[in-house]
Amino acid sequence: MTQIMEGSHAVAEAVRLSKPGVISAYPITPQTHIVERLAEMVADGLLEADYITVESEFSALSACLGASATGVRVYSATTSQGLALMFEVCFNAAGMRLPLVMTIANRALSAPLSIWNDHQDSISLRDSGWLQLYAQDCQEAHDLHYIAYRVAEDHSVLLPAMVCFDGFVLTHTYEPVDIPGQEEVDAFLPAFSPYQRLDARDPISFGMYATPDYYMEFRYEMERAMQRAKGVLKECGKEFGERFGRDYSDLVESYRLEDADTALVAMGSLCGTVKDAIDEMRGEGKKVGLLNLRVFRPFPFEDVKKALSGVSRVAILDKNVSIGSKGAVGLEMRDTLYGTGIEILDCIAGLGGRDIRKRDVRRIVGLAEAGGGDIFYGLREEVL
């Protein structure tokens, strides 16, 4: 059934239909509407779950970690400073191989304080061992939660997953969203079957002390699981498409790349603006296309290389920056395309919610065609 709803409520509906047994989250702008709605669902009897009220984001994810270790499907959500407060627990959850799912309403990190959107918060945890999926609209934000649970809980993966969508741009925007029925979701996402769990009758331990003789192998096994997740993501995305008509079998989305000379690379809601700009430029004879990175972890090296095999140059729109280096997407793209001869321009843009308009996309394409170096795009003149 298609309904017009706020992006945050579309996410809450996906969580309700996924049937978590425990929800624990601390409200923080612009994530608040998700957990507010879930609290209402639990109170109204629409969702049978324990909703744990806590005093901080650190406690919220810690509660989810403990519940997941007992074999319960769990859910949390956060953003920006809240995610930063969870830092320690994020690494613990991945290292303990607990398949949590958490929504990230992407928002800039302080200081200075900002409540607007960029991708610095989730990108800052790219090395933590979590799967990272990025939605470009409210429908994708809804759909990707079912896929995240399926992949995270797969016994060949067993890693936590973040579903990231842009704060305010999507969290507070109303769009048509197709909501499947409970029976349809149950057929795609069966009840959680833990690989192992805490049980007083059969005691085991999670996250124990590891000496140098053993620690490295734990990290290696996490890396192997992350690589296996690529295949599981594709299989689950294909099955989702067969059941619901929206295919997520590709880890990247190619838009008008078939004969493109210049490719733009982006993640999240920005892709909609880029597509509109590309359509206009195509009408003027410019051969431009888009590569939308739907999955950032595991990074889809092979898929990216194949999708961009015919282009001459790439312009990356990075809504984050690794201070002292480049944007995180730019770093991955240079690794992926090394030796191909494809020219790469990394544009750090849109930080702290600064708008990236169609005219900006046009200018960035022009900069790529002119062969310029990596830049912070759109800086105020007084700092130049």
Q: Work out the burial of residue 80: count CB atoms within 10 Å of its CB; fewer than 13 is exposed, 13-18 middle, 19 or more buried.
A: buried
Q: b/e for 6-24, b at 16 or more Cβ within 10 A? A: bbbbbbbbbbbbbbbbbbb
Residue 372: pLDDT band with limits 50, 70, 90: confident
| Per-residue pLDDT reduced to its tens digit, 29-72 | 999 999 999 999 999 999 999 999 999 999 999 999 999 999 99
pLDDT above 90 for 124: yes
Mean pLDDT of 232-244: 98
**DSSP of 137-155:** SHHHHHHHHHHHHHHHHST
Other CB atoms within a 10 A radius of the CB of residue 232 amount to 18
| Residue that is written with structure tokens 């956060």 in the block | 78
The token pair that represents 148 in the structure block: 């995240």
Residues pairing with 314 in the sheet: 263, 344
- Cβ 159 vs Cβ 97: under 8 Å: yes
Q: How far is CA 225 from the centre of its chain?
A: 18
pLDDT of 381 reads 81
Work out the angle between the directed axes of helices 87-95 and 215-244 (0-180°, nearest 10).
Answer: 90
Q: pLDDT tens-digit profile of 177-201?
A: 999 999 999 999 999 999 999 999 9
Q: From CA 38, how far away is CA 15, in angstroms rounded? A: 8
Q: Is 259 exposed, middle or buried (0-12, 13-18, 19+ CB in 10 A)?
A: exposed
The answer to whether 38 and 16 have CB atoms below 8 angstroms apart is yes
Q: What are 289's two structure tokens?
A: 């296309």
How confident is the model over 303-350, as pLDDT tens digits?
999 999 999 999 999 999 999 999 999 999 999 999 999 999 999 999
Q: How confident is the model at residue 242 (pLDDT cuts 50, 70, 90)?
A: very high
Element (H, E) at 134: strand 131-134
Q: Residue 161 — φ and ψ, nearest 5°?
A: -135, 140
Q: What is the pLDDT of residue 384?
A: 60
- Name the token pair of 320: 């984050």
Which amino acid, 315?
A
Question: Do residues 233 and 295 lie in contact, with contact meaning Cβ atoms separated by under 8 Å?
Answer: yes
Mean pLDDT of 98-115: 98
Residue 383 has pLDDT above 70, yes or no: no
Q: What is the largest CA-CA distance in the chain?
A: 70
Share of the chain above pLDDT 90, in %: 97
Which residue from 134, 125, 145, 167 is spatially nearest to 267, judged by alpha carbons?
Answer: 134
| Distance from C-alpha of 6 to C-alpha of 176, rounded to nearest angstrom | 9
Domains of the chain: 2-244 (3.40.50.970), 252-383 (3.40.50.920)
pLDDT value at residue 344: 97
**CB within 8 A of 86, min separation 6: which ones?**
57, 58, 60, 61, 78
d(CA 382, CA 258): 41
pLDDT band with cut points at 50, 70 and 90 for residue 206 = confident
